[in-house]
């Protein structure tokens, strides 16, 4: 087979690979077929990578280059495999965020290399000069988006791992730095694109310096964009960074002229965009509001410390257990507190006990409960909760009226009735789980501390609500023991 | 950059985005985490670009960039698929429920909760 034939074969493999990606994603539309879908997608990846290796091995390729390929792959692949195998399921958001970072970083590096290679010899010879502006455009789009994704995702990872505080970190003047880096990065990029198009001419070292400025601006922007974001906004941020990574990979496809990268990147970009929109809707915030530095938007509303009107009623573990044991319908409302305490297995055990008594148990999942889209679903699936019991907000909300006990574990803002009624509340308008419509409510909570939004939850002073102060895991264990006694 | 290449690439790009919207909007909320993790592995395709870069790298700078890109993309691909698979194997209908009247083997069916 000569090189051209091989080239065609490789192109053909890319089509097969891209098709397998699409089919694989399509099969994700049901939990029953999702695993097959992921494996098909992996098969597509293996085909594409094998084809590319076969292709490059036909060229003049030195031992050193092979060392880079094999060494880099072994190092990265080994690290990735180790992380993926050993990490706790509760650590999933940070792992996803970390993979966003490396994916975006790798895409950015491709463009960076391309820029350096191109400017070593000025513009590609033989092409239409005006269009090299396009090429530079894609290079810069890739470098900028890739860099923002890289540092932004690393900060998100650090926040999720607890290395950085989960609360919004507000650096004085951070907003100004953000805007400065946006304006500066974009204007420098425009100058570079004009240079690529041949409109203006600079010495090579000036071009490199300008590129360096754009790169630093993008890296800094990634940091200042994510730092002020609170933990509860993470589902939006991770989705957004996911969309960014996809875009960066697509742009890299334009740069290295590879259709497979363009398709795969576009699919990921679309997925990230959809999830971002869903998460933003679930928090009643518009995407522009989020994009234009709206993340720190709630800092002015760190409300006054009132628990006005009503008193908090504490419930003993035995009372709570009796309520649960004699209910006919129980809805469990999990939140991030459950993930932190790793209480998912206990919750499942409690649900099993209740079901054994003939009680109907389901789980109400708010779209933004936890730190990433679908976080609670994965945790409960890990504890072997059958997925038909996991109910979405719109599906379960009408059922609270005939629910005997709503058991809220580690969730706060997503159950706050103020979102429905109190116009002055920062979360006013956010769709919530209507737990206050249940006949009685038991809230397992460590203390009277407020949720991420820093606002009071009138649910806790509702006469129907009993507060059970305990760590989620410990509290659930106590409930299990008490229900067994009933 | 050649005009016809640009137009071809843009065509593919736009159609792939529309296809992505179409396919992904059908994924149920239950599977959003595996979806994100799965698309995460898909963007590991940047590995293909990294291999191309590594194969042509000359000089220490390009070699360094290529090595880091290879390691990043390699971690992305391998880790992404493995962790997604691990996640998805946990999604079960009803593992060992003697109380469940429905046959646990029935795979797809049209289940209301899997929306």
Q: Does one domain contain both A152 and A222? A: yes
Chain B nearest CA to A207, separation (Å): 17
Provide the number of structural domains found in chain B: 1
Same domain, A50 and A115: no
Mean predicted confidence (pLDDT) in B101-115: 41
The beta-carbon neighbor of B71 closest among A53, A75, A131 is A75
Q: What residues of chain A, 346 to 405, have a C-beta less than 8 Å from chain B?
A: 355-356, 365, 367, 372-375, 377-378, 381-382, 384, 386-392, 395
Nearest C-alpha of chain B: how many angstroms from A462?
30
Does the beta-carbon distance from B46 to A106 stay under 8 Å? Answer: yes
The DSSP code for A131 is G
Nearest to A208 by CA among A118, A333, A83, A281: A118
**Chain A residues touching residue B39 (CB < 8 angstroms):** 25, 242, 246, 267-268, 271-272
C-alpha dist (Å) from residue B65 to A99, A219, B57, B58: 18, 17, 9, 11
Contact state of A69 with B99 under an 8 Å Cβ cutoff:
no
- A252 and A364 belong to one structural domain: no
Same domain, A72 and A94: no
The DSSP secondary-structure symbol of A284 reads: T
Q: What is the CA radius of gyration of chain A?
A: 26
Q: Give the domain-ending residue among A44, A61, A86.
A: A86
A220 vs A152: CA distance, rounded Å: 9
Whether A314 has its CB under 8 Å from any CB of chain B: the answer is no
Question: Is A97 in CB contact (< 8 Å) with chain B?
Answer: no
Q: What integer pLDDT is reported at residue A106 of this predicted model?
A: 95
Q: Which structural domain range is residue B64 located in? A: 31-92
**Does A305 fall in a domain?**
no
The pLDDT > 90 percentage for chain B reads: 62
Chain B nearest-CA distance from A376, in A, is 9
Residues of B in contact with A390 (CB under 8 A): 30, 113
Say yes or no to pLDDT of B95 above 60: no
B28-57: pLDDT as tens digits: 999 999 999 999 999 999 999 999 999 988
- Residue B3, in any domain of the structure: no
Q: For A262, which of B9, B23, B55 is closest by C-beta distance?
A: B9
Whole-number mean pLDDT of chain B? 83
Residue A315 backbone phi and psi in degrees, to 5: -120, 140
Q: How many domains does chain A have?
A: 3
The pLDDT-based confidence of B98 (bands split at 50, 70, 90) is: very low
Q: Is residue A312 in a domain?
A: no
Q: Which of A58, A40, A10, A5 is nearest to A257 (CA)?
A: A10
**Same domain? A352 vs A438:** yes
**Minimum distance, in Å, between the CA of residue B25 and any CA atom of chain A:** 7
What are residue A333's DSSP bridge partners? A408
Q: Which of B48, B63, B92 sits opposite A52 (nearest CB)?
A: B48
Distance in angstroms (rounded) separating the CA atoms of residues A234 and A239: 8
Q: Are A233 and A166 in contact (CB under 8 A)?
A: no
Angle between helices A31-57 and B46-56 (to 10 degrees): 10
Indicate whether A240 and A322 sit together in one domain: no
Q: Is residue B111 part of a domain?
A: no
CATH of the domain at A418: 3.40.50.1220
Report d(CA A21, CA A250) in Å as an integer: 14
In a domain, A94, yes or no: yes
Residues of A in contact with B32 (CB under 8 A): 275, 278, 372-374, 377
CA atoms lying within 13 Å on the CB side of residue A219 = 9
Residues A81 and A93 reside in one and the same domain: no
Domain boundary among A248, A266, A299: A299
Q: Which of B25, B36, B63 sits opposite A242 (nearest CB)?
A: B36
What sign results for the dihedral spanned by CA atoms A259, A263, A269, A272?
A: negative
Write out the two tokens for A211.
């590129």
Query: Considering CB atoms only, which of B9, B84, B91 is closest to A259?
Result: B9
Where do the H-state alpha helices sit in A201-233? 204-226
**Portion 201-240 of A in contact with B at CB < 8 A:** 238-239
Catalytic residues of A: 413
A23 touches chain B (CB under 8 A): no
Tell me if A381 sits within 8 A of B91, measured CB to CB. yes
Say whether both A57 and A152 belong to one domain: no
Residue A65 CA: distances (Å) to CA of A61, A341, B67: 6, 47, 9
Cβ-Cβ pairs closer than 8 A, A with B, add up to 405
Q: Domain check: are A151 and A62 in the same one? A: no
> Is the same domain home to A133 and A199?
yes
User: For B8-16, which contacts have Cβ atoms below 8 Å and span 24 or more sequence positions?
Assistant: B8/A259, B9/A253, B9/A254, B9/A257, B9/A259, B9/A262, B12/A259, B12/A262, B12/A263, B12/A266, B13/A250, B13/A253, B13/A254, B13/A262, B13/A266, B16/A18, B16/A262, B16/A263, B16/A266, B16/A267, B16/A270
Same structural domain, A353 and A268:
no
Identify whether residues A177 and A286 lie together within a single domain. Answer: yes
Q: How far is B1 from chain A (nearest CA, A)?
A: 6
Per-residue pLDDT of chain A (486 residues), as tens digits, is 566 788 899 999 999 999 999 999 999 999 999 999 999 999 999 999 999 999 998 877 889 999 999 999 999 999 999 999 998 888 889 999 999 999 999 999 999 988 887 765 444 433 444 457 888 899 999 999 999 999 999 999 999 888 887 677 777 777 788 889 999 999 999 999 888 887 888 888 888 899 999 999 999 999 988 888 777 788 888 999 999 999 999 999 998 888 999 999 999 999 999 999 999 888 887 766 665 544 433 433 333 334 445 688 899 999 999 999 999 999 999 998 898 888 999 999 999 999 999 999 999 999 988 888 999 999 999 999 998 899 999 999 999 999 999 999 988 888 999 888 888 877 888 899 999 999 999 999 887 765 555 567 889 989 999 999 999 999 999 999 999 998
Distance of CA A364 to the CA centre of its chain: 20
CA angle A230, B24, B104 (to 5 degrees): 100
- Number of neighbouring beta carbons within 10 Å of residue A166: 18
Q: Give residue A287's domain range.
A: 89-299
pLDDT at A126: 39
In a domain, A238, yes or no: yes
ipTM above 0.90, yes or no: no
- Asked if the structure places residue A309 within a domain, the reply is no
Place of tokens 């958001």: A93
Q: Is A1 exposed, middle or buried (0-12, 13-18, 19+ CB in 10 A)?
A: exposed
Does the CA dihedral A91-A93-A99-A102 come out positive or negative?
Answer: negative
A29, A62, A86 - which closes a domain? A86
Task: With CB atoms and an 8 Å threshold, state whether B45 touches A264.
Answer: yes
């Amino acid at each position: 087979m000569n090189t051209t034939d091989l080239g065609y074969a490789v192109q053909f493999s890319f089509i097969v690979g891209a098709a397998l990606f699409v089919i694989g994603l399509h099969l994700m539309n049901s939990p029953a077929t999702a695993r097959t879908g992921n494996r098909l997608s992996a098969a597509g990846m293996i085909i594409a990578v094998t084809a590319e290796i076969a292709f490059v091995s036909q060229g003049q390729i030195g031992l050193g280059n092979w060392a880079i390929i094999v060494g880099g792959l072994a190092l990265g692949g080994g690290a990735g495999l180790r992380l993926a195998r050993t990490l706790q399921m509760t650590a999933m958001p940070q792992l996803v965020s970390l993979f966003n970072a490396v994916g975006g970083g790798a895409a950015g590096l491709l463009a960076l290399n391309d820029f350096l290679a191109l400017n070593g010899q000025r513009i590609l010879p033989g092409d239409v000069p005006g269009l090299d502006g396009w090429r530079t455009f894609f290079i810069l789009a890739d470098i900028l988006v890739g860099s923002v994704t890289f540092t932004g995702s690393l900060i998100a990872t650090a926040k999720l791992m607890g290395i950085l505080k989960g609360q919004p970190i507000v650096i004085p003047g951070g907003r100004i730095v953000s805007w400065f880096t946006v304006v500066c990065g974009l204007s420098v990029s425009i100058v570079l694109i004009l240079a690529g198009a041949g409109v203006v001419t600079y010495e090579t070292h000036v071009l490199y310096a300008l590129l360096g400025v754009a790169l630093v601006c993008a890296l800094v922007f990634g940091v200042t964009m994510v730092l002020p974001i609170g933990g509860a906004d993470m589902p939006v941020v991770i989705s957004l960074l996911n969309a960014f990574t996809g875009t960066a990979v697509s742009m890299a496809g334009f740069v290295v002229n590879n259709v497979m990268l363009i398709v795969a990147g576009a699919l990921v970009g679309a997925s990230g965009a959809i999830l971002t929109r869903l998460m933003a809707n679930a928090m009643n915030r518009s995407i522009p509001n989020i994009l234009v530095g709206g993340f720190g938007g709630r800092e002015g509303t760190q409300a006054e410390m009132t628990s006005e009107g009503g008193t908090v009623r504490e419930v003993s573990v035995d009372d709570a257990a009796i309520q649960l044991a004699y209910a006919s319908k129980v809805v469990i409302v999990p939140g991030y507190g459950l993930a932190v305490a790793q209480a998912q297995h206990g919750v499942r055990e409690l649900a099993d006990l209740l079901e054994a008594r003939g009680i109907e148990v389901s789980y109400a999942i708010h779209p933004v409960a936890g730190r990433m889209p679908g976080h609670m679903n994965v945790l409960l699936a890990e504890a072997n909760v059958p997925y038909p019991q996991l109910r979405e907000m719109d599906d379960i909300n009408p059922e609270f009226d005939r629910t005997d006990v709503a058991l809220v574990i580690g969730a706060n803002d997503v159950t706050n009735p103020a979102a429905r009624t109190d116009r002055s509340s920062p979360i006013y308008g956010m769709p919530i789980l209507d737990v206050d419509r249940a006949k009685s409510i038991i809230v397992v909570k460590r203390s009277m501390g407020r949720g991420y939004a820093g606002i009071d939850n009138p649910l806790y002073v509702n006469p129907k609500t009993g507060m059970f102060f305990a760590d989620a895991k410990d509290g659930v264990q106590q409930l299990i023991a008490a229900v067994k006694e009933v | 950059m050649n005009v016809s290449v640009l137009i071809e690439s843009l065509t593919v790009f736009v159609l792939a985005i529309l296809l992505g919207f179409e396919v992904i909007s059908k994924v149920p909320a239950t599977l959003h985490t595996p979806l994100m993790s799965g698309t995460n592995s898909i963007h590991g395709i940047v590995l293909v670009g990294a291999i191309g870069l590594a194969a042509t790298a000359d000089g220490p700078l390009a070699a360094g960039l290529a090595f880091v890109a290879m390691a990043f993309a390699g971690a992305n691909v391998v880790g992404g698929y493995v962790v997604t698979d691990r996640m998805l194997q946990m999604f079960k209908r009803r593992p060992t429920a003697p109380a469940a009247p429905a046959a646990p083997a029935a795979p797809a069916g049209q289940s209301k909760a899997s929306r």
